[in-house]
Amino acid sequence: MKDINIDDIQVSSKLDDIIKNSVDEGYDTTFNKSLSNKKYKRFNKNIVAATIMVALGVTVFGSIFSNEVIAAVKLTMFDIKNYLGVNDNLDEYSTIVNKAVSKNGITVQLNEVILDKDEIIVSTTVKSDEKLDDNGNIMVFGNVYINGKKASSSSGGSGKQIDNYTKENVLSYTLNKELERGDLYIEIKYDEALLHIGEIETKVEGPWKFEFTSNGDALSKNTNSINLNNSFTLDNGQQITLNEYRGNAVGGKIYYSIKNKDRNNIYSLELRGYDNLGNEVKFYSSHEEMTTGLMKNQTELSQDAKALTLTPYAVAFPKESGKMSSDYKQVGEEFTIKLK
């Protein structure tokens, strides 16, 4: 059994042009993360987590579902709570789907779903009938539909290989607008899978489709929203304004706006600091478009914390293919968010 964390995610060198083109197009493409084998170059978690990452959006919509077979086997469930690294009980906010569909030698099981206002966090287990080697991998690409309309614009997350045939994944799908209140009819459809075995990459046609009803009101009600007004300017003249902090049992988020963005000079952002109890706190770039962005907390926040003191840092993405620099520089003054 081997774990794959965000720091170990690797991106195919063949995708450099796609990434560049997606940035040039203003980040309009659907982005999905690529977990692949050892011949692929390493990027750090900020590239992978951000939606400036691998442009593998697919829109191949199949209409024939008669070949779908509901899988008799129930695969191991990957708990979203473990992925998020939180101690809070998320049962109140989670919808357990636990349904599996098999097609063309690939079984996809949709385990658990959490609705968090402007994103949907999804746990899946994916199994191949064909044995993977040590560097093998299975990737499935999906879209989220709410009340019959496509709602997802990008996704990112992490995964773990649990045996020679099976992967567990948690993906966070960024939505194109905030969720409506009440029960929602949700469809998640995976149109294709990529199977990596040795040096061979095979595209497997789906679809694997799941339908269920869920409700995000409980988590929304228990979300702490705090207005911010903190701005700083990067070396390229780009201005970042931190607008809002949102915190709940799933984690903390900071929403920001952008002015004077240079498509050819992109930065990765971090907020580093501590809470009033002395615990380390760090937010990283998760999603960015031309005028807006999102940062997520990557350290567990104590329920007893009353304030966060943070300082902004930034580093430029490499303009050519190559390793992401870890040489972050301070780009703004320290500030405090009062949580209580």
Q: Using only C-alpha atoms, what is the Rg of the chain?
A: 20
User: Are 289 and 149 in the same domain?
Assistant: no
User: Are 199 and 246 in the same domain?
Assistant: no
| CA–CA separation, 175 and 155 (whole Å) | 9
Q: Which domain holds residue 41?
A: 2-219
Domain count of the fold of the chain: 2
> What is the DSSP-derived secondary structure letter of residue 323?
P
pTM for the predicted model, two decimal places: 0.73
Element (H, E) at 264: none
Tens of pLDDT, residues 185-213: 999 999 999 998 888 889 999 999 999 99
User: Are 69 and 168 in the same domain?
Assistant: yes
CATH code at 110?
A: 2.60.40.1630
User: Are 188 and 315 in the same domain?
Assistant: no
Which of 219, 247, 271 is where one domain is finished? 219
CATH code at 247?
A: 2.60.40.1640
- Helix, strand, coil: what percent of the chain each, to 5? 10, 50, 40
For residue 50, give the nearest of 23, 16, 21 by alpha carbon: 23
Which of 191, 219, 247 is where one domain is finished? 219
Element (H, E) at 207: strand 200-215
User: Are 169 and 230 in the same domain?
Assistant: no
User: Are 227 and 84 in the same domain?
Assistant: no
User: Are 262 and 209 in the same domain?
Assistant: no
| CA–CA separation, 51 and 211 (whole Å) | 26
User: Are 78 and 199 in the same domain?
Assistant: yes
Tens of pLDDT, residues 261-300: 888 888 899 999 999 999 999 999 888 888 999 999 988 8
Tens of pLDDT, residues 207-258: 999 999 999 999 999 999 999 989 999 988 999 999 999 999 988 999 999 9
User: Are 114 and 54 in the same domain?
Assistant: yes
